[in-house]
Structure 1
Amino acid sequence: MTLEVRDIVDLRFSTADWSERDRLPIFREQIGRMMVGLDPEPLTDGAFHAEANIRELPGLGIGSWTCSNLRIARPRALLHDGKDDFVLTIITSGQVRASQRGREIDLAPGQAVLMSAAEAGEMAGSPSPSRFFGLRLPRKALASLGSSPQDMTMRALSANTEALRLLAFYVRELDDGYQLATPELVDAVVNHLTDLGALIIGANRDGTVVAEERGLAAARLAAVKADISENLGYDLTLSAVAARLKLTPRHIQRLFESAGSTFSEFVLGQRLARAHRLLTDPRWTDSTIGAIAFESGFGDLSYFNRTFRRHYGATPSEIRSGPRRL
């Protein structure tokens, strides 16, 4: 378990790291009740497992969980901590049952539910592993965008909406080591996630405009960039990326324009960066520069050499002959 306290709090743990005797007491008291305001317990006798990556940002929280044979409750005894946020939980695998306000909802992968931290409730999985992530959304932030989350609690929400898909993608990007290096970047991420949450829950007209121009646009651009990075070795065209992401080519162009760039500039930069990584990777020592250029998406070796030298101030051969990473 690691815990860092700055403006951002990161908590990562796995019950597999603790002895069987200490597993439930540590998880229940030190993690559940003291840190996250929850009360976990096994569903049935026998082994249970939980691992999580929880990140607390100023004004927002993110948690990715994997659980088996567990019930994670927020009982009335813990409501005195004063938390009145809303938690949007999206199921990524397995089966989960959510209970609150006298209602129970069975959730399958691709579904989501909104619950209130100000009321008693619980999430229960099954003996097999379930994976889900939760987004803690402050009431005031949602209200500023004209959302009425109290009207959307305990409803099964489909993750097939664009906002939910982009929210899931955005959270995965953060889990994959996305570095929040500056306060400005932290504020931007918090705003973007809040915007996506408000769109999922429902915002008024003015709030929707703000959320679409800010959080939705940022998430769309991140998804476009990720798609480009995953397909660098192929014939990347604006129309192909647009078709995969169900956006119009002109909309993608506007997304890049708002960031002070263009689609073509970003693709070229990513291909050059990939070529540079391969040229300094010992595993590619036996590959020709032409093969590396082709692997990075360049079909014309002369064009590759010219643009690479202009970008890095050195030829591919000079980069390759320099110090190598181990």
Structure 2
Amino acid sequence: MDNDINILHNSTTLASSPTQAVKYSTADFAPHIRLEWLKEVIGREYANVEITPPKTGVFNEMLIYSWDKLRLSVIRSNEITLQRLPHEPELISQDAYFAVVHLSGNYRLQQNGREVFLKPGDMTLYDATLPHHIRCPEPFAKLIVSIPRPLLKERVSGIEHCTALHIPGHLGIGSVATNFIRSCADKANELNAPEFSTLSEHALDLLTLALATVRPASINLSTSRTVALHRVKTFVEHHLSDSALTPAKVSTGTGLSPRYINLLFHDEDTSLMRYVWRRRLERCRQDIESDAHAGRRISDIAFRWGFNDLSHFSRGFRLLFGCSPTECREAAHQK
């Protein structure tokens, strides 16, 4: 419990930290408008819901961190009931899955005919676009990792069958995943923005593994391809800087045949080497826009991520991102 409070306390000291959060709190508003204000904020940031407020009064505090392609929220609240009704999401950012790491209090989630009860440390997942019912009968604290739907679908086959399942926070990979995410929230204000952003990929990897442990056995046949594709992508990610990376090297490193690897990427309407090319460019852009690499020559960044032809790199960068590497850097540092 002390650690849960520490997460929330440390996350509020925003001014001294390069990693910035957006803070929302009902405490900033008069009691008679808090419920409508909270409904509007939850509807904008998460999902449109109906709220049953507590008899003790409305209190809710949210800290929302941008986390590369994800978002990490630290939430503290009085008892509350949320009901998501059937209708389309209004914002593209709401087309997401939410991984919940429960910190304190009791939590019940219902979705897709399933029901899960969480104790502190446990984790679950729900689809923000589908009807769901959340009941917290006492003051509570939780973390939410918002994951864009396409990002999770490409990693977890049958992800739609993984909502409202119990991932225990004291066993195996579930324990590793929940403790890592809690540590990220706890230390967010001690990390600079690039450091914090880098951790999101590790969090997503751990969430993927944790979800695989509770995925229904009925879809295990299709999961083998997902696991294989994830293995290939992980190998590629760790070897992007190798300018001599070839399909043969990837095949040897993953133990999968070149033909099977091509079939895996064909399902995603791409090829292995097109995927390598795109990931190298995305890594280059990340470094070009980062303050941590502001003094580094763009050519050095390109070489660092496996390009050995600067003309090819520049053409590819403009084709993918619609601007030159220099224009990208200038735009990033004008923000």
How would you bin the TM-score normalised by the shorter chain?
A: 0.5 to 0.7
**Which of the pair has more CA radius of gyration?**
1
The range that moved more, 136-145 or 189-198, is: 136-145
CA distance in 2, matches of 1:180, 1:52: 19
What secondary structure sits across from 2:175 in the alignment? helix
Is 1:12 equivalent to 2:23 in the alignment? yes
CA contact (8 A) 1:195 1:212 kept: no
Contact 1:163–1:199 under 8 Å retained in 2:
yes
1:66 to 56, 76, 91: 76
The letter of the residue matching 2:198 is A
1:40 shift after superposition? 5.6
Q: Partner of 1:207 in structure 2?
A: 230
2:170 equivalent to 1:164? no
| Contact 1:91–1:133 under 8 Å retained in 2 | yes
CA displacement 1:137-185 (0-9 Å, x = unmatched): 22332344344322211212211234332333333333334355354x3
- Residue of 127, 139, 145 corresponding to 1:135: 145
Structure 2 unaligned regions, length at least 5: 1-11, 213-225, 239-335
The change in CA–CA distance for 1:123 and 1:16 in structure 2 (over 3 A counts) is same
Q: What does residue range 222-261 of structure 1 map to in structure 2 within 5 Å? A: none
- 140 and 3 in structure 1: CA distance in 2 versus 1, 3 angstrom threshold: farther
CA distance in 2, matches of 1:209, 1:162: 24
Structure ranking higher on relative contact order (CA contacts 8 Å, 6+ apart):
2
Deviation at 1:213, TM superposition (A): 11
Query: 2:237 and 2:123 mapped to 1: Cα distance?
Result: 23
Structure 1 portions without partners, runs of 5+ = 216-326
Q: Which of 48, 63, 66 is the equivalent residue of 1:53? A: 63
| Greater mean deviation of Cα atoms: 62-71 or 36-45 | 36-45
Q: Distance in 2 between matches of 1:33 and 1:106?
A: 24
TM-score by structure 2 length? Answer: 0.53
Tell whether the 8 Å contact from 2:99 to 2:125 is kept in structure 1 after alignment: yes
Aligned length: 210
Q: What secondary structure does 1:204 align onto?
A: helix
TM-score, normalising length from structure 1?
Answer: 0.55
Instruction: Name the Cα RMSD after superposition.
Output: 3.4
**Paired position in structure 2 for 1:115:** 126
Percent identical among aligned pairs is 20
Question: Which of 87, 91, 98 is 1:87 aligned to?
Answer: 98
Q: Is the 8 A contact 2:102 2:143 kept in 1?
A: yes
1:63-101 deviation digits (Å, cap 9, x = unpaired):
122222212343334624343321111222211110212
CA–CA distance in structure 1, aligned partners of residues 101 and 71 of structure 2 = 14
Residue 126 of structure 2 is aligned to residue 103 of structure 1 = no
Q: Following the alignment from structure 2 to structure 1, what is the Cα–Cα distance between the partners of residues 113 and 228? A: 32
